[in-house]
Amino acid sequence: MVGQSHNKAVSVNSGSPLTCSARGSITSKGPLRWTIAAAKILLCTSQVVDTDIVRKYGLGTQNDVTPSRGIVVIADEGGQCLETEAWIPVAALGRAHDIKGIIRFGDRFQLGPVVMNSGDEPFNEFASQISRSLFDRILRSTETKVSLNIQQRMRPELW
């Protein structure tokens, strides 16, 4: 876990010793609960947002915390995330009425969602739908989108 309560930003990493674990390795009493409850911004993966401690103490859900003024879900690697995974933050928090916006970004031409298919099935009529990300589906269905044409991760001659 990375974060300081006075900065009011918390990042919860599933690999750190102070992790939000669905197995309940961290109790609701202690510095992690307090830090999550006091945070104005909570950064975590879609899977971590579905843990007990984040649902219970994150985003102003307890009486001892000021209620949130809204939730904005910001997700990177949108082209790699399956549609079902993309909705985890909305469904897990159970606070759809508080969500003010969802921002997804990524490169739809990079690695797409990984879908495992049983070798016993010679034909899966839903394979193309299952393997399409929400990011790609939205980009195909709307004209309101912003494409960035400058990238700075590789040398210009490779671009």
Q: Cα–Cα distance between 87 and 78 in angstroms, integer? A: 12
Give domain status of residue 146, yes or no.
no
Give domain status of residue 158, yes or no.
no
For residue 106, give the H/E element and its range.
none
Domain count, the chain: 1
Residue-wise pLDDT for 56-70, tens only, equals 776 555 444 455 567
Residue-wise pLDDT for 93-115, tens only, equals 777 777 888 888 887 777 778 77
Domain limits at 72? Answer: 31-115+124-141
Q: Cα–Cα distance between 146 and 38 in angstroms, integer? A: 34
What's the confidence (pLDDT) of residue 16?
43
Residue-wise pLDDT for 113-149, tens only, equals 877 765 566 677 777 777 788 888 888 887 777 777 7
Written as six digits, the tokens of 15 are 């690999």
Residues 6 or more apart in contact with residue 121 via CB below 8 angstroms: none
Look at residue 87 and tell me whether its pLDDT is greater than 80: yes
